[in-house]
Amino acid sequence: MTELDVTDKEILRILQINAGITHKQLSEQLYKSVATIHERIRRLKKLGYIMRTVVILDRRKIEMNLIAYSQVLLNDHAADTLKGFEDEVVKFPEVMECLQMTGSFDFVLKIATRDMDTYHTFYRQKLATLPNITTVQSFFVLSEAKSDTAYPIS
């Protein structure tokens, strides 16, 4: 891993909060030249620190009103079974995150749908059709006290 200096870390902190900031604004904030900022961001991308730049939407404004966290237990834990499940479940646009876990369940999925009826359709017509699923246990979000995408950088 390449060592990050103070300026690199500040760039990453700022971009996590506002990826739309211009290089000029960033250079003014960090007292660096625009060319320096441009080169540092290019290098951070090349090194893989910046994987992609995205826009975070207000899910309610686009009517994604129901968030479910579904724990999935598979009946077989062979490498090809686990990989096969991952390969298929990530194709569903409703699945926002797919995490393989330790503990009682194999995977946790974050699923976004318009409402309970849409979730039910997703469950019956997509998730439940995948092979090797033993159990799906879902929990539905009632409220969000915090939803952050920025990692702390030290």
Q: pLDDT digits over 98-153, tens only?
A: 999 999 999 999 999 999 999 999 999 999 999 999 999 999 999 999 999 999 99
- Domain count of the fold of the chain: 2
With a cut of 90, say whether residue 69 has pLDDT above it: yes
- Whole-number percent of the chain with pLDDT over 70: 99
* Within-domain flag for 11: yes
pLDDT value for 154? 85
pLDDT value for 1? 55
Indicate the Cα dihedral angle 129, 119, 94, 144, nearest 10°. -140
Decide: 129 and 88 in contact? Cβ < 8 Å. Answer: no
Q: pLDDT digits over 78-94, tens only?
A: 999 999 999 999 999 99
78-82's contacts with Cβ under 8 Å and 24+ in sequence apart are 81/132, 82/106
Residues 70 and 136 in one domain: yes
Q: Which domain, by its residues, includes 11?
A: 6-46
* Within-domain flag for 97: yes
